[in-house]
Amino acid sequence: AEVTRDEVELPPPAIDNRLTVHSLWPEIDRISTEQIQAAFEGVGGQIGWQLFAEEGDMRMYRREMEIDGMVMDPLKAMHKVHGVSAREMCHYFFNPRYRYEWETTLETMNIVEAISTDALVFHQTFKRIWPASQRDALFWSHVRAAPHHTYAVTNHSTTNADYPSNSGACIRLFVTVCLACRTAWPAGEAPSRDNITTSIAYCSTVNPGGWAPAGVLRAVYKREYPKFLKRFTNYVVEQCRDKPLVI
């Protein structure tokens, strides 16, 4: 049976059985595992990564990459947040109930399929960037726990016969995103809002799916990604204030 929207609550500490029997499971498991592993690998010393935004604990890197003139720059960001857990961060990133409150590039969002409490398929349209055509995306989203007080959300493009690409005004873009978070606190102490620190690794690769001017796209990314990560992090801090901590 499909899960209802209300069932999607805090990320479960173990994989939901309903996900493991779904046809997308092998792909979801493989890509999530790869993405979470790569997320915590550093960029320091690796050739090609250029720092393009830095503010407080936040660092954002990109690797310039073009295929047939289309910008595919992989992006990697590191950040730290105090007082909220990895599980809480991933809850607000995964759960569609909050998305319009922190995602400013979004125009519409629909749940195409509710696979399980930890996996959903979304169709989203984004605000149009002049002079390019408007974009949409269809992707699965999966949240899971990993060792060392880690939780991560992986989003990856998929297909669905009811949502054909490039059929209306939108050009379909393709996305692979991973938000991986790890919580730590001083040895010998009990975790609390006063002593936990969560390290965030956010990776994103967007294939625009069709022509878009490289300069405009890079300018949009340079402005929008730092804005997103700061806004989202502050949003979670605000939401969690005065709520009991969940690790």
Min. distance of Cβ 7 from ligand 6CM in angstroms?
A: 20
Q: Of residues 25, 126, 163, 174, which one binds ligand 6CM by CB under 6 A?
A: 126
Strand partners, 60: 53, 77
Q: Of residues 217, 233, 236, 240, which one binds ligand 6CM by CB under 6 A?
A: 217
Instruction: Check if the beta carbon of residue 140 is closer than 8 Å to that of residue 23.
Output: no
Q: Could you tell me how many residues of this chain bind ligand 6CM (CB under 6 A)?
A: 19
- Give the Cα separation of 197 and 199 in Å (integer): 7
Q: Does 121 bind ligand 6CM (CB under 6 A)?
A: no
Min. distance of Cβ 161 from ligand 6CM in angstroms?
A: 22
Q: Of residues 71, 88, 225, 240, which one binds ligand 6CM by CB under 6 A?
A: 225
Instruction: Find the binding residues for ligand 6CM in span 170-209 (CB under 6 A).
Output: 175, 177, 206, 208
- Give the Cα separation of 135 and 208 in Å (integer): 8
* Sequence-distant (≥ 6) Cβ neighbours of residue 194 within 8 angstroms: 83
Nearer to ligand 6CM, 193 or 231 (CB): 231
* Sequence-distant (≥ 6) Cβ neighbours of residue 56 within 8 angstroms: none
Nearer to ligand 6CM, 177 or 196 (CB): 177
Instruction: Check if the beta carbon of residue 37 is closer than 8 Å to that of residue 185.
Output: no
Nearer to ligand 6CM, 149 or 232 (CB): 232
Instruction: Check if the beta carbon of residue 160 is closer than 8 Å to that of residue 138.
Output: yes
Q: Of residues 27, 57, 107, 224, which one binds ligand 6CM by CB under 6 A?
A: 224
Q: Does 125 bind ligand 6CM (CB under 6 A)?
A: no
Cis bond before residue 11 (omega within 30° of 0): no
168 is written with which tokens?
Answer: 């209306």
Binding mask 80-119 for ligand 6CM (x = CB under 6 A): -----------------------x-x--------------
Q: Of residues 98, 185, 228, 235, which one binds ligand 6CM by CB under 6 A?
A: 228
Instruction: Check if the beta carbon of residue 198 is closer than 8 Å to that of residue 42.
Output: no
Strand residue runs (E) in 48-149: 50-55, 58-62, 66-67, 70-71, 75-82, 106-116, 119-126, 135-146
Residues that bind ligand 6CM (CB under 6 A): 103, 105, 124, 126, 129, 132, 135, 137, 155, 175, 177, 206, 208, 212, 217, 220, 224-225, 228
